Structure 1
Amino acid sequence: MTPSYCRLITGQRYSVQCGKAQKVQPERAEFDLDLGPDYLPTFEIRLPINTEEATVTVRDQKDKDVWKHDVDLSDSLQSKENQPEPRSLSPEKRLFSVRSQFVDAVSDPVLNKMLDQLLQQDIINDEEKDSVATKTKADKARTLIDMVRKKGARASSDVIKLIRKLDVHLSEKLHLS
């Protein structure tokens, strides 16, 4: 993630390019001028494994560069190398291994959706949902992870699937995808 700090003009077409990319998607997209403080990225760039750096460029319809940024990915490669392979852990241990990152990164709306869906799936009951829902975001996240881990592999696995479904970026950040 990097700030854009470029001025785009309504009605113009732009392309995103990255020389090392295996794929940039979508090929074309409209830019929303009313993004607000929390928004999803417009483009996804897929790079080969072990890519240490890449240059991302936004070009206008005349093929002129309007924004260019060199991205250093070496830190993310090193941090991945130092972590155990999450898939080799049980679902309960996988949740526990990402607990603090989950607490820091999950949004309150995602937590609320998780509570609703866990209730619908009979993984938690009304009393458990109500006790979690009244807490602060961080305490809500901690309590939810701990509550589900204690319910075993199936419940933990279902929560991992919910995180993947409700917040793809968080799932990738936590290496749950």
Structure 2
Amino acid sequence: DKDKHKNVYRFVCPYAGHFCCSLTSLVFVMEGEGEVLYNTVSWDSHLLEHLGRVMQPAGPLYDINCFNGSISGLHLPHCEIFSEEDMDCLAVAHVTGGNVAIMNPLKVTEAYVMIDIKDLSIFGLIKRMIFPPSPVIAQVLVFLRPITVRQEENILDVHLLPWNVPLSEVKDQHAENTHINTSSKCFLIPGTQYRLCCQPKGSTVQPATEEFDFNFGPNYHPTFEVFVNVRNKEVKLSLMDNTEGREVWVPRRVLTVTSGQDEELPVHRWLTGSEFVNNHRRHLIQKVTSVMEIADGLRAKGMITTEMYNEVHVTEPCQNKMRVLWKALDSGGASVKAEFYRLLKEKEPHLVDDLVSGPNSPQ
């Protein structure tokens, strides 16, 4: 349902049996032919208040409808790792008309909570919080943000989520990004701080640490952001328990070039700001018109002296201003040229585009 920005799943059952949804992992027990519509809905804070403080969501909340009533059972996927004392910690919340009834399962397996159902509406797993937090099965999902022509870094969004959050729901919420397939399974403890590590070392990860949240929507914001130089076609990501200092998700190779891109990205994608300035010296001197605005930015950061700034200011025309400013760029080195490039992209983006895509761009 694109108007409401949510996934609605439709299942047409030809005969009796057990049928598993490959997107949500829900299993429907059908007595005969029927049609089922289902979608996730938000956990209402008022519903949780009715459950009391000892209960919390343990899975997505599903609104399920079957048009001829042929559904008789439901298996809800969970992410718990059971010990002997907490085998009975899971139950099912059945929501009808704003009221919540707690259903005890018929059976709980390593992967599913099974219930018989008669009245269809909204169902979701809940967990009795009697014991301290223990590890659950979780997933690390990696998405690559769209790459723009003038971009110097790839940005990866990394999500830490419970295992029974459907990937399809997260992908739909971040449809503009590309999901990068990698082995995602790990074991995390809710409320524990984790640290994402990235190689090569020049990459930046923010925040430094973050708490694993038992999040079942409606919003799936990235837990970490990773900034990687576009010249790196792959990175290695791993996850550390920040308290114990141990790896909980061992290093994975993650490609930052998606299948939809060319095998070799255009050369300008790999150029640093300094290299771009060096390679386009002649054209920059002839074509840059916002010389004083760029000089203002460089002066504000202490990258050119007052004397140099004044010399640029009194020199005419623009081509001669650029020749004077170029002396400061050469003496300042790569950092000053990189800042010049950043300011140029801000002031004259069309010029940058023309230079990186024109016949005079480096081959």
**TM-score, normalised on structure 2?**
0.23
Report which of the two has the higher share of strand. Answer: 2
Q: Pick the structure with greater CA Rg.
A: 2
Compute the TM-score of the two structures, normalised by the length of structure 1.
0.46
Task: Report the structure, 1 or 2, having the larger helix content.
Answer: 1
